[in-house]
Each structure stands twice: as structure tokens, then as C-alpha cells.
Amino acid sequence: MLVEAEASTIWKALTRPELTKLYMNGWMPQSSWKLGSEVVWMDHVEGTVNRRGWGTLRACIPERRLRYTLYRPDSKLPDEAPSYTTVDIVLDEERSGRTKVTLWHGDFAGLPNDVRRARQAGREWVEALVGLKRVAEEQEGKMAA
């Protein structure tokens, strides 16, 4: 997907909770963004903080790459290594100020209903990427003004 924003702006939209909640159905990441640290996805509903997913940061190159494992308790799978999937997001800045965003979410093979789970994740990511594009382009516009 091409986004009319610089990689630095998209990076902020990926890592800052106040921005991620705008396109991730209210989900916000908590992490130190250091290699090997925990990434916890949370939301706030009616004053309650809910942990929606968690995992470990596997790669973090600011403005370039974000890769983490993800366990979602709503998967109804045990919280153990084989139940975790991997999300990998790569940002490639182009000369025109646009950035190519490539997302891969995998490691579903071997999970119960793996094809269904992969399709569901794909649908959720399509929605999230459209939102990421909107938020990043809005932020880029604000910085240019």
C-alpha cells in the first residue's frame, strides 16, 4: 500500500497509542519498543482496561521495520508459543515523499482452523491499513500546515 506520508509519520501512527486507537478499533500498543520487549495491545471500554493481545518485539528499526509475535486470547487457544502468530510491517520511503507499507501476518499453519484464522486476520488488516493510511496522511497534512 502506498501512503502519502513520510516513514517517520507512519512510524508514529504505528507506535503511538493515541494514534493507533484511531484505526485499530480502539486498540493501543504498550511497549518500550526495544528488541525483545513485550508488546501489549489494550483498549479502554467503559473505564475498564482490557488486554486484547500480547507478544514479543522481534525487530524494531525505527521508521523502517516493526516485527512482533501476537497472541490473542479471543483465539481460545492456549497461551503458549505455537499459538502465537507473527506480524511484520516494513516501510520503504520513496523519493516522492510517499511510503510503501508492506504488511505480513503469518504463522497460522498448524493452528486449528488455520485458513479461517488467516482470512479473518486479512480482513482485519485491510481495515486497519486503510485507517493507518488515513491517520498518517492526516498527520502529514497537519505537520505541513
**CA neighbours closer than 13 Å in the CB half-sphere of residue 64:** 4
The better pLDDT of the pair 143, 21 is held by 21
CATH T-level topology, domain 2-144: Alpha-D-Glucose-1,6-Bisphosphate; Chain A, domain 4 (3.30.530)
Using the predicted structure, report yes or no on whether residue 99 has a pLDDT greater than 80.
yes
DSSP 52-85: EEEEEEEEEETTTEEEEEEB-GGG---SSGGG-E
Give the pTM: 0.92
Q: What is the mean pLDDT of residues 5-20?
A: 96
CB 136 within 8 Å of CB 5: yes
Residue 10 has pLDDT above 80, yes or no: yes
Distance CA 9, CA 106 (A): 25
